[in-house]
């Protein structure tokens, strides 16, 4: 191993994360041991750490579920993976239960989420099941001038909205609205545009809106400066101007805030689709009868089935979805500072913690 294995552990809410040594793993036949290239800092991690969202694994626990790296060791049934660059699924299904067999891996009752069910990726190394690993073509990665650490965000920030966009059925000519374009939402804009949608981006930050304007957003709206009625009127006007339908809009709520979820629900129209991607502990007051009256639908989006990862990665490798402009790498040893900055909204891009920096 190139560096001694360690991980940063959360012992209780708000208490500084502490580095501890990792013993050499005892791998099962289907497990792998990965040297981590990078691990992205997600809103979910901050929810566990600051907001008291409960992890399934008792504390102490290492957080982090956006992981890329290289397989160093493998169990007897997984030796093919040794020395391959990989992305670890943010939600690892078992692959053999009834739900998995029926193509419903995101609701697998035996799923393992790093940083929630098992120790996660804010570490130098991690042991995980090989089930669902996404192999990375390193020649194409080099040709695209993307670092393996940057691909860590594919594990959630890219694949989760990819699953949402695919599930919603976005295709050429659809009017798509993405509410909240920092992190996951920014990639939702890029993916929906890459799949043919005409995309409107909504946020409360001009800076975030400016960043995504050149990456798939045909129109940007600042919700802080507009009423819900004004936002809907602006979307209607955009649809008319571009010859798009005044019905069947596809709305992705990625802000993970009460105000954002209420705004997104208010945009539902006849035949519309609401994809709920962001998460908040806050309760939202909406009129569910709108779903009935508009013959609309609301879809949840928990992670992404591993079989969709290669398709999402392909969008990155062929340049249709840009990763590098939206991430910033930090040394793993500065994790406590990075968490504070991310929680305070002081980071301009999604943080990726890198053990070797």
d(CA 11, CA 146): 34
**Comma-separated ranges of CATH 3.40.50.720 domains in the chain:** 159-300
**Comma-separated ranges of CATH 3.90.180.10 domains in the chain:** 6-156+304-354
d(CA 244, CA 93): 39
Residue 230 structure tokens: 């004004």
Say which CATH class 159-300 falls into.
alpha beta
pTM, two decimals, is 0.95
Q: Are 61 and 76 in contact (CB under 8 A)?
A: no
d(CA 150, CA 131): 22
pLDDT in tens, 91-115: 999 999 999 999 999 999 999 999 9
Is the domain defined by 6-156+304-354 classed in CATH 3.90.180.10? yes
Per-residue pLDDT tens, the chain, 357 aa: give them.
568 899 999 999 889 999 999 988 899 999 999 999 999 999 899 999 998 889 999 999 999 999 999 999 999 999 999 999 999 999 999 999 999 999 999 999 999 999 999 999 999 999 999 999 999 999 999 999 999 999 999 999 999 999 999 999 999 999 999 999 988 999 999 999 999 999 999 999 999 999 999 899 999 999 999 999 999 999 999 999 999 999 999 999 999 999 999 999 999 999 999 999 998 889 999 999 999 999 999 999 999 999 999 999 999 999 999 999 999 999 999 999 999 999 998 998 999 999 998
> Cα-flanking dihedrals φ and ψ of residue 338, to 5°?
-65, -40
């Amino acid at each position: 191993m190139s560096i001694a294995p360690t991980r940063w552990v959360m012992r209780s809410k708000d208490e500084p994360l502490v580095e501890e040594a990792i013993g050499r793993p005892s791998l099962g036949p289907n497990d792998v041991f990965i040297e981590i290239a990078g691990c992205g800092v997600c809103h979910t991690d901050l929810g566990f750490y600051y907001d008291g969202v409960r992890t399934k694994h008792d504390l102490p626990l290492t957080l982090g579920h956006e992981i890329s790296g290289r397989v160093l060791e493998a169990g007897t049934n997984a030796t093919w993976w040794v020395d391959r660059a990989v992305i670890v699924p943010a939600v690892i299904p078992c692959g053999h239960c009834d739900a998995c067999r029926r193509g419903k891996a995101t609701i697998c009752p035996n799923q393992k989420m790093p940083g929630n069910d098992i120790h996660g990726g804010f570490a130098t190394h991690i042991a995980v099941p090989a089930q669902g690993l996404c192999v990375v073509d390193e020649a194409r990665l080099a040709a695209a001038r993307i670092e393996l650490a940057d691909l860590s965000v594919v594990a959630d920030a890219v694949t989760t909205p990819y699953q949402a966009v695919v599930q919603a059925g976005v295709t050429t000519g659809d009017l798509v609205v993405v509410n909240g374009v920092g992190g996951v939402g920014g990639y939702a804009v890029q993916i929906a545009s890459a799949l043919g949608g005409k995309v409107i981006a909504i946020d409360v930050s001009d800076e975030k809106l400016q960043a995504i304007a050149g990456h798939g957003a045909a129109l940007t709206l600042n919700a802080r400066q507009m009423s819900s009625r004004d936002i809907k009127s602006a979307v209607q006007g955009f649809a008319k101007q571009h010859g798009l339908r005044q019905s069947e809009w596809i709305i992705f709520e990625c802000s993970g805030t009460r105000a954002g979820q209420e705004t997104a629900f208010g945009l539902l129209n006849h035949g519309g689709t609401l994809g709920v991607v962001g998460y908040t502990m806050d309760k939202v007051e909406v009129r569910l009868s709108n779903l009935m009256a508009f013959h609309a639908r609301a879809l949840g989006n928990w992670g992404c089935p591993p079989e969709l990862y290669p398709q999402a990665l392909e969008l990155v490798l062929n340049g249709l979805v840009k990763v590098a402009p939206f991430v910033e790498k930090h040394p793993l040893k500065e994790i406590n500072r990075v968490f504070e900055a991310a929680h305070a909204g002081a980071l301009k891009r999604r943080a990726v913690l890198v053990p070797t920096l």
